[in-house]
């Protein structure tokens, strides 16, 4: 049988019970740091690429936690619209499910009625319109017009195409209430004929997607899906 006393003698004298305690407490802290909500992220690193099927970069996960992602979304699918990145990102748990280029307000961000700006903050998808309609379906006041846009039909009109996800603001005084209400402002996620402008701020306040992409987002979401719109 191995001599336990002689084995203990091989440890350095500095490895005392106090050292063990420090080492143990440090190891216990690591999982909390990795989960991202315990420390401030500061500014989100704009050069971090976000790829489908990847884990969220740590600074982005932390920033999302700081604005209430876990409380509002949990492990369900949520949508994050980044104005800086001009991307709509689907996130479930800590995984990126999809990333699509988008187009937010040409005039920037803001919540005022008739400002043609994209509102910030927490929203939920409310009405969903266009299920089963063909790609390029044209809607006016959310009613299908019985014709479909194609790239051959060049137009300068701000057409609402293919699918509509009508957003309802969840934060009173920010995107909900008189004069600033996202739902009353008809803020949608929708398809557009100006697909060549996707990836740049070019909308009248809505979140535009390419027509193929808006079908995919529509099919992945439901009424009640949370949507966070941020400057970063």
Residues 6+ apart with CB under 8 A from 192: 103, 158, 159, 160, 161, 198, 203, 208, 209, 210, 211
Question: Tokens 């790239």 map to which residue?
Answer: 151
Q: How far apart are CA 172 and CA 131, in angstroms?
A: 30
pLDDT score, position 153: 87
pLDDT score, position 36: 44
Q: How far apart are CA 154 and CA 182, in angstroms?
A: 29
Domains parsed from the chain with CATH numbers: 48-230 (2.40.440.10)
DSSP string, 38-55: SS---S--TT----TTSB
DSSP 134: P
Helix/strand/coil for 69: helix
Residue 62 and residue 41 in contact, taking contact as beta carbons nearer than 8 Å: yes
pLDDT score, position 37: 57
pLDDT profile of the chain (232 residues), mean per 10: 39 40 37 41 64 94 97 97 98 97 98 98 98 98 97 89 98 98 98 97 98 98 98 97
């Amino acid at each position: 049988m191995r001599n336990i006393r002689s084995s203990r003698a091989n440890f350095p004298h500095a490895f005392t019970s106090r050292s063990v305690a420090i080492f143990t407490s440090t190891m216990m802290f690591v999982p909390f740091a990795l989960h991202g909500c315990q420390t401030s992220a500061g500014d989100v690193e704009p050069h971090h690429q976000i790829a489908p099927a990847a884990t969220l970069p740590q600074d982005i996960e932390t920033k999302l936690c700081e604005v209430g992602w876990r409380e509002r979304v949990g492990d369900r699918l949520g949508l994050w619209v980044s104005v800086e990145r001009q991307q709509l990102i689907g996130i479930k748990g800590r995984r990126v499910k999809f990333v699509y280029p988008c187009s937010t307000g040409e005039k920037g961000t803001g919540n005022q009625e008739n400002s043609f700006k994209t509102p910030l903050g927490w929203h939920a998808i409310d009405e969903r319109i266009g299920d089963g309609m063909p790609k390029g379906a044209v809607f006016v006041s959310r009613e299908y017009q019985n014709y479909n846009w194609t790239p051959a039909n060049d137009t300068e009109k701000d057409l609402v195409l293919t699918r509509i996800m009508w957003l309802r603001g969840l934060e009173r005084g920010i995107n909900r209430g008189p004069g600033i209400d996202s739902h009353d402002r008809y803020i949608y996620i929708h398809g557009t004929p100006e697909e060549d402008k996707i990836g740049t701020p070019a909308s009248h306040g809505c979140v535009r997607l390419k027509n193929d992409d808006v079908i995919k987002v529509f099919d992945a979401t439901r009424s009640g899906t949370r949507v966070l719109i941020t400057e970063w």
